[in-house]
Amino acid sequence: MNTTRRDLLTAALTAAGAAVTSDLARAQEHDHQAVPSDPTLRVKALESLLVAKGIVDRAALDALVDTYEHKVGPRNGARVVARAWRDGAYKHRLLINSTAAMAELGYGGAQGEQMVVLENSAKVHNLVVCTLCSCYPWPVLGLPPVWYRSAAYRSRSVIDPRGVLREFGLEIADDVEVRVWDSTAELRYLVLPERPAGTENMSEAELAALVTRDSMVGVGKVTAQRAGTRT
């Protein structure tokens, strides 16, 4: 089972109510590169048990995994961002009616019924959290990462957003306003990150390849060279 599949199963079972716990500190210790071994093992055990008891059909589970590996995920959000960067009219529609503009590209549906896009600029940095649980725009970002679901991120993003951003490697200047947005089951957010300098001649596909999941949650910035992605 590869890392992506483990991530998915972890998230899927968490959504189903399984007690997979983690916190930001633990995620940081692992440098965001790997799922902690204990939850991974627990998820594997749960999957085996659910299949053995006939509660879950392994084929259905594989179809679910395939959906979230290949059909939904951050690549969708990246395409939305790249389109907005290159097409001013699309960007305008995206900021006025995000849900409809995303639907133009075929993205929408469950866990993304009502979307709002937040534009980062030289003066405003937006950060998205769900303080209550882990609401996240699945159609454009896929399933939420471990740290997004952690109690530490959910609470500290509100109390000390600049401190949290610093831990993600983002130092936000004092003259930049940090806005924290609390997602709900009804309303979910996607950050439109700033387009990096030096990308003026890039195609939409090239731009999309630069856009990270973290930048669309607000814990990262897009650089002209693709950075690593936290899990």
Based on the residue annotation, tell me whether 150 is a catalytic residue of this protein: no
Q: Which is nearer to Fe ion, 182 or 194 (CB)?
A: 182
Based on the residue annotation, tell me whether 135 is a catalytic residue of this protein: yes
63 contact partners, CB below 8 Å, separation of at least 6: none
Choice from 12, 43, 72, 135 touching Fe ion (CB under 5 A)? 135
Q: Any contact of residue 133 with Fe ion (CB under 5 A)? A: yes
Closest by CA to 117, choosing from 96, 141, 143, is 96
> Least distance from C-beta 184 to Fe ion, angstroms?
6
> Least distance from C-beta 132 to Fe ion, angstroms?
5
Residue with the closest Cβ to Fe ion? 135
Contact 142, 73 (CB under 8 A): yes
Q: C-alpha distances in angstroms, 179 versus 35, 156, 191?
A: 29, 14, 11
Contact 147, 32 (CB under 8 A): yes
Catalytic residue among 134, 157, 183, 215: 134
Based on the residue annotation, tell me whether 130 is a catalytic residue of this protein: yes
Catalytic residue among 22, 98, 135, 157: 135
Interstrand relation of 124-129 and 177-182 (parallel, antiparallel or unpaired): parallel
Q: Which residues are catalytic?
A: 130, 133-135
Contact residues for Fe ion (CB under 5 A)? 130, 132-133, 135
